[in-house]
Every structure is written in C-alpha cells, then in structure tokens.
Homo-oligomer: A and B are copies of this chain.
Amino acid sequence: MTSRQAGRVGTSTRILDISERVVQTKGFGCFSYADVAADLKITRAALHYHYPGKAELGEALIKRYSVRFDDALGAIESAGEAALAKLDAYIGLYADIVSQRRMCLCGMLAAEYETLPAPMQAEVVRFLDRNAHWLERVLEQGRSEGTMRLGGSASDTALLIVSALEGAMLVARPYGDIEKFRSTAAAMLSSLYGTHEPTRPAESARPAEPAGPG
C-alpha cells in the first residue's frame, strides 16, 4: 500500500505488468518467475513476498485484467453511442491488444484451460460470460434501433462475436500480420450487417493506461 501512491508504481503492480505481458505472449505454462525476476532485476525469491505462489499470481493477473476490461466496456457504455459504434469500439479493444503482438489474456488461458488451477478456470469463464452478456445487450440495442438485423438469437450472435474475435487474434499472431485481424473483424461486421467500414479503436472510450485492458 505504501509504495503505490504518487507517480511511482509499486513492485506488486510491476510484477503484474510484466507477468501479464509474458502470459499473453507465451502462455501461463511457459511463464516462470525467472522471466519476471530478470525483467524487474530482483531475485525470484522476492516475488514470493508479493504473491505466495504462481497460482495466486495468476489469479491476481486475471482479476485485474477483467476489471480493466469491464471498465473499458463501461466507458463505451457511458459514451452513449449507437449500437454499431459500440460494437466498433469493442473491436477496437481487441485490435489494441493485437497491435501489441499479444493474445487476449483470457483467450490464451482458455487454450490452457485444462492445466489451470480451479480459481483461474472460474475467472476465465467469468470473463467470457461478462463479454458475451455485454455484447448481447448491445445487439438488443441495435435491434431496437433497427440498425442490426440478427440472424439467430442475441446470445448466440454475442458468443459468435467473442469467438470470432478471439479466433482472429489466435490466427493473426502466427501470420505476424496485424492487418489480418482488422480485415477479419471487418469481414465479420460485413457478414453481420452488410457494411464493411475499416475498424478503428474508439479513442475516447478507452481507459487511460496502459493501452486498454491490454
């Protein structure tokens, strides 16, 4: 608590920042205390003071990520735009992650799901649920506005959007081609609503730091 006021960032936070980046890049299984210790220039043993074990660190990681994502969704919500603009801003959140050459944290953890400790598993499902439910409300708004024509139910379409975006991130990374994510997202919007504007991150709807829920 004492070390995180003012301009400085506390060690606990820096551990989360570094861990997050590594897990989003290499996965939780291939992530080790040594990665963090080397980057932070402290010993591995010191990490255990902040997080007793890898499981607890993983849990803190995903909880912070979920809160940030929820905040970003809330920011989009309170901007009070049309449903299509909200969907566009939502895609922008994912695009920001891809542009950092990362995978969505929970998408990565979803792949590793079977190997995760139970508390982390629960948090992954929770993240996916909250995303799908938020999208579901946006889709229903679009239906009310008459700007979206839903083929299936709002909940099926919401899950399709989450799946397509997570999958687009998964596929774009091996190609090393960030544009592939944008064109795939555009094709998705096109298939859903017959339009295909290029997708841009919604600058006003993102939290301050560091680059969205990243």
Contact = CB atoms under 8 A, between A and B. Distances in A.
Interface of A: 25-27, 29-30, 103, 107-108, 110-115, 121, 124-125, 128, 151-153, 156-157, 159-160, 162-168, 170-171, 173-175, 180, 183-184, 186-188, 190-192, 194, 196
B187 A157 contact: yes
A160 B115 contact: no
A160 B187 CA distance: 7
Nearest to A125: B174
A41 B128 CA distance: 39
A21 B186 CA distance: 34
A128 B159 CA distance: 23
A111 B152 contact: no
A156 B112 contact: no
A27 B121 CA distance: 16
By Cβ-Cβ distance, the 10 closest A-B pairs, closest first, are A167-B167, A151-B190, A163-B167, A111-B111, A164-B164, A156-B187, A163-B168, A166-B167, A160-B187, A152-B187
Contact of A111 (B108, B115, B165): B108
**Max chain B Cβ within 10 angstroms of own Cβ: one of A114, A157, A187, A192:** A187
Contact of A188 (B107, B124, B153, B160): B160
Contact of A184 (B25, B156, B184): B156
